[in-house]
Chains A and B, each alone.
Chain A
Amino acid sequence: MALLSTESLSMTFGGLRAVSNLSLQLEMNDLQGLIGPNGAGKTTVFNMLSGMIKPTTGKVIFDGEDITNLPAHQITQRGMARTFQNIRLFGSLTVLENVKIAFHRHVTYSFMQALLQLNIAHHEENITRSAMDLLDVLGLADRAHHQANNLSYGEQRLVEIARAMATQPKLLLLDEPAAGMNPHETEQLMNLIGKIRRDFDLSVLLIEHDMNLVMGICERITVLDYGMTIAEGSPEQVRANPRVIEAYLGEEVV
């Protein structure tokens, strides 16, 4: 059974069909790419999957359950996490606090315990330790006590990933994680995504404009154009598809 599948998912904004009849299939441990020119509807797909907006028509099935109408926080609690293209960190907090907040799903103590500070010390220590471990994995440990806003663009994108990871997802949605990164950082990110997928045993759906990145690490790629799926398949198949070349890749890639 697929981890994620969508059935004729569509989103209309006023008269604009941002996404039409999308059918995605993602298996456990897949690393899939979602590409397409600007305004093709990629982010809108993420917004629908993660419950930020409700699709006009269609269904999202995640881990055997219809999650189409669930609120965002419940979708996260079921094991889907995302990053944001237009970075949405908790800017005036430290990097460590950002990640600690994302462990919310695993907080077991009650409101009353919090108000009275009753037996929460070891829970809090565990959260802090787990958060530091994650920052270590992403190479951000030395930034733990920096204010998130003060980090470089590339580092902020990494904190976004750390935060998404902290929710302990089965499926990670990455929206242009390499945007704003230099080639060196991008290469490190490629390795990191591969490593995370292996070590944490999760699936990744990746939106990215950096073709080297997408073609380099994705096993399957879906191509959107004006909200329509114009191609789907392995990187080789997609690269060779004339519609893709016309719509997106341009002559120089052939």
Chain B
Amino acid sequence: MRQELIERRLPWLILTVGVYLVISVTSALGILNDYHMINIITIGISIILGVSLNLINGFTGQFSLGHAGFMAVGAYTGAILTMKFGFPFPATLLCGGLAAAVVGLVIGLPTLRLRGDYLAIATLGFGEILRVLFINWSYVGGAGGMVVTQRYTNFHWVYAMTVLTIIVIRNWLQSAHGRACVAIREDEIAASSMGINTTLYKVAAFILGSFFAGVAGVLYAHAYYIVTPASFGFLKSVEILIIVVLGGMGSISGSVLAAIAITLVSVIFTPWPYLRMILYSLALIIVMVYRPGGLMGVKEIQLPALSLKKKEGQQVGTP
């Protein structure tokens, strides 16, 4: 059993370490320049956002339209803590996540108790309220935003947080608690009839997703020079939603692939922002027509298990 587990996980470990080494080394050698690295950082942040939103929208079936809002909570919390209070970066990451999680609780608890799409309405409103709040709050620079001179975010931090997000959310989904979330997506009434406290699990998934959006926000704030209310508007939430829908509602690997693709497209088309939106829309339409479940549907990428020992002929009597 243990052996089998190791054999299944080894390829992922190799892939994870491999990608890390390749990027680190090529960047150290100057093959990847600063421009490449900031885009890789953006990809990592997008992956965190996509995977965490997928937990809420794809796996638990609750429609959140305000993921960028939780990112904003993390970003501003992070910026305040490092710039005004001199917090160390690891503590800031944790606090940014926790702040977003607390806000997630406040929004999730009243709306997720009800059946239906109240969450969509509430999160939509939340994003707008937050924007107005930050615009009028001079302590964090108002509409002009807050300058962040502490550029703590580097490839290593982003990579670590991306891997952490994926592992933690995957762990959750492979547990009985995660199965309860998926059951709610499949049929909320049947789930409650199986003894599942549906409100508890919807709120739990929402808080967990918000936490990682907050972490992504902290990374964002310390990767660019400035956080502004406009960076976390409705369009940003839509962009994250597109990642989830394109990759597959209910597929972590799908969100990872879609986050990479969307970020690359958005980088390439930066000079033509309207073209970018048209391309998003086209991609969405094409996926909806030809693969309604998204690129991966609810499936995950499987890597072939690595066999550690040569099979010893007759000795395959394990259960």
Contacts and interface: CB of A to CB of B under 8 A. Distances in A.
A89 B190 contact: yes
B208 to A, nearest CB: 8
A195 to B, nearest CB: 23
Q: Is the interface of A mostly helix, strand, loop or mixed?
A: helix
A82 B193 contact: yes
A88 B189 contact: yes
A157 B192 CA distance: 18
Interface string A74-103: 001100011010001111110001001111
Nearest to B200: A73
Interface string B155-194: 0000000000000100110111111101100110111111
Contacts of B193: 50, 52, 72-73, 76, 81-82, 84, 88
Interface string A128-161: 0000000000000000000000000000000000
Contacts of A76: 192-195
A114 interface: yes
B284 interface: no
B81 interface: no
Interface of B is mostly: helix
B121 to A, nearest CB: 24
A104 B190 contact: no
A117 B168 CA distance: 8
Contacts of B198: 73
A52 B178 CA distance: 23
Contacts of A125: 1
Contacts of B48: none
Interface string A103-122: 11101010101111100110
B117 to A, nearest CB: 20
Contacts of A123: 176
Interface in B218-252: none
Contact of B187 (A89, A102, A120, A166): A89
B176 A103 contact: yes
Nearest to A168: B195
Contact of B177 (A100, A107, A166, A167): A107
A92 to B, nearest CB: 6
B204 interface: yes
A90 B190 contact: yes
Contact of A92 (B178, B179, B298): B298
A81 B198 CA distance: 16
A73 B176 contact: no
Interface residues of A, number: 40
A91 B192 contact: no
Sorting the interface of chain B by its residue count into under 10, 10 to 19, 20 to 34 or 35 or more gives 20 to 34
B182 A73 contact: no
B197 interface: yes
B196 interface: yes
A124 interface: yes
B196 A90 contact: no
Nearest to B176: A107
A40 interface: no
Contacts of A72: 189, 192-193
A237 B254 CA distance: 62
A226 B197 CA distance: 33
B189 A117 contact: no
Q: Determine which residue in B168, B187, B190, B204 has the highest number of CB atoms from chain A within 10 A of its CB, and name it.
A: B190
Contacts of A116: 168, 171
Contact of A115 (B168, B187, B191): B168
A103 B177 CA distance: 11
B124 to A, nearest CB: 27
A82 B195 CA distance: 11
A88 B171 contact: no
Contacts of B175: 109, 113-114, 117, 120, 124
Nearest to B178: A114
A101 B298 contact: no
A97 B171 CA distance: 16
Contact of B176 (A104, A163, A167): A104
A72 B1 CA distance: 37
A84 B172 contact: no
Contacts of A101: 176, 179-180, 182-183, 191, 194, 196
17 contacts: A71-B192, A72-B189, A72-B193, A73-B192, A73-B197, A77-B195, A82-B193, A88-B187, A88-B189, A88-B193, A89-B190, A90-B191, A93-B182, A104-B194, A109-B176, A116-B168, A127-B176
Given A114-B171, A127-B176, 13 more contacts: A73-B193, A73-B194, A73-B198, A81-B193, A82-B193, A84-B193, A89-B186, A101-B179, A102-B194, A104-B194, A115-B171, A115-B172, A117-B171
A-B pairs with lowest CB-CB distance, top 10: A114-B175, A90-B186, A76-B195, A88-B190, A107-B176, A72-B192, A105-B195, A117-B171, A102-B194, A114-B177
